[in-house]
Amino acid sequence: MAFLLSNHTINAQNCANTSVGYQSITDLGTGYWQGMQGGLYPNGSNYRPAFHNQQGLMIASQILPLDTAGNVDYINGKIIWLSIGMSNTTSETQMFISLVTTLQNKNPKLDFIDGAQGGKHIGLIVNPNDNFWQTINSRLAAAGYTPKQVQVVWFKQADGQPTDTSFATYTDALKIKFRTVMQIIKTKFPNTKLCYLSNRIYAGYATTSLNPEPFAYYTGWAVKRLIEDQINGDTALSYSGANLRSPWLSWGPNLWADGINPNLDSLTWICPNDFNSDGTHPANPGRIKVANRLLRFFSTDSTAIPWFLNSTSTGIINNVNSVHPIKIYPNPAQNIFNVELPDVLFEINITEITGKRIFKEKDIFGKAQIDCKNFSNGIYFIRVTTNKQEIWNRKIIIKN
């Protein structure tokens, strides 16, 4: 169905298609779909494997402000976060940037460049000579930066007008295109160390052939397969050693959910509110959903905290910094450590570096004493959430 408005043809969303019956990759876990196991990572897990996560933590610790020549400069240097993708990606990036600029506990050396561009689907940007790449350089230059200052990428891409509906052949071909772009990123932005990838949002409401279902759903599987290839040692995706060909890869936010059916992260996609008239591009409410998930991810992920947040403050209230005298001591800890937050009710979650949660306690007032005698030696991440909607993230070292 279409109707005319101000001399432009508008495609009405297919709001009746509230579900396509697929499970989000995260929700599948160890289950299978079309012969492929779910989970964001190998073996049906939604957590990065320990070694891959450790590598990411090590690389994250090496992200430092760079000058325009790519040299470390603690005074005037910058860490550039760059988005790469198509039309949805640029609209979501712009919303994310508007949120993150109000975040007072953001690393003051960190800046954001929207490199995503409308109409530039994966089939175009696999060409390193496509003007997509020159446009990014122009945007960097306009902000006073160079390609050598880019160190972190958020990547979200899709095919334009795809026709191969075979799950096996389509996701394999898309994965190969993604791999090519990872190599281009490393060539054009040689100091890029980390790349976080997301999948397409739900496209069951789409009324055009631009990138409808099942292709939006398939995109997540291509991301999963690409990251698993790197984890399994694909030399075309080497991120360490003498022959660097790719950044270190990780899932960013998982953005696909089956329409009105919430995924494991309680994400839903609602028509008509979340979408523009074509049912493919997000409207402001949909962009806000993505932007909030990006902000939450980069504020809490163990490989992002070292460079995303100001090292002296990691508290957030409704996406805005909050100053609060949180104390975690002793650190390093042996047998016991304390979490102290005066005069407030809070919850504690403790995760391993793999992202696996090993401790949770609610309704604590003022101070908690944590018995860590059974914790293995190493680094752990503490997330404290208060009844005032504050979120605090801290790192602790256990030496039993």
- Cα 293 from Cα 168, distance rounded (Å): 29
Report residue 9's pLDDT band, with 50, 70 and 90 as the boundaries: very low
Say if residue 32's pLDDT is above 60.
yes
pLDDT tens per residue across span 205-215: 999 999 999 99
Reported as a single tens digit per residue, the pLDDT across 242-254 is 999 999 999 999 9
Mean pLDDT of the chain: 91
CA 375 to each of CA 55, 333, 339, 359, 387: distance values in angstroms, whole numbers, following the listed order: 21, 10, 16, 10, 27
pLDDT at 316: 37
Tell me: the pLDDT tens digits for 288-340? 999 999 999 998 898 998 899 875 433 433 333 444 568 889 988 999 999 99
Residue 5 pLDDT > 80, yes or no? no
Task: Give per-residue burial for 160-189: e unless 16+ CB within 10 Å, then b.
Answer: bebeeeebeebbebbbebbbbbbbbbbeeb
Tell me the backbone φ, ψ of residue 196, rounded to 5 degrees.
-105, 130
Element (H, E) at 151: strand 150-156
- CA–CA distance, 400 with 397 (Å, rounded to integer): 10
| Rounded Cα distance, 42 and 29, in Å | 10
Question: What is the pLDDT, as a whole number, of residue 8?
Answer: 34
Alpha helices in the chain (DSSP H): 25-28, 50-61, 87-100, 122-125, 131-142, 167-188, 215-231, 284-300, 305-308
pLDDT more than 70, % of the chain? 92
CA pair distance 55, 305, nearest whole angstrom: 15
Q: How far apart are CA 320 and CA 189, in angstroms?
A: 31
Q: What is the mean pLDDT of residues 104-109?
A: 88
Provide the pLDDT for residue 214: 98
Name the nearest CA neighbour of 21 among 36, 37, 34: 34
**355/333: higher pLDDT:** 333
User: What pLDDT is recorded for position 396?
Assistant: 86
Is the predicted pLDDT of residue 343 greater than 90, yes or no?
A: no
- Are 249 and 183 in contact by the 8 Å Cβ rule? The answer is no
Judge whether 280 and 17 are in contact, CB under 8 Å. Answer: no
| Tokens 């292709």 belong to residue | 215
| Higher pLDDT, residue 152 or 57 | 152
Query: Is the pLDDT higher at 221 or at 383?
Result: 221
Integer Cα distance of 200 and 247 in angstroms: 21
User: Model confidence at 11, in pLDDT bands (50, 70, 90)?
Assistant: low
- When pLDDT is cut at 50, 70 and 90, the band that residue 371 belongs to is very high
Instruction: Report helix, strand or coil for 94.
Output: helix
User: Does residue 106 carry a pLDDT above 80?
Assistant: yes
pLDDT over 80 at 391, yes or no: no
Q: How confident is the model at residue 90 (pLDDT cuts 50, 70, 90)?
A: very high
Q: Give me the pLDDT at residue 322, please.
A: 44
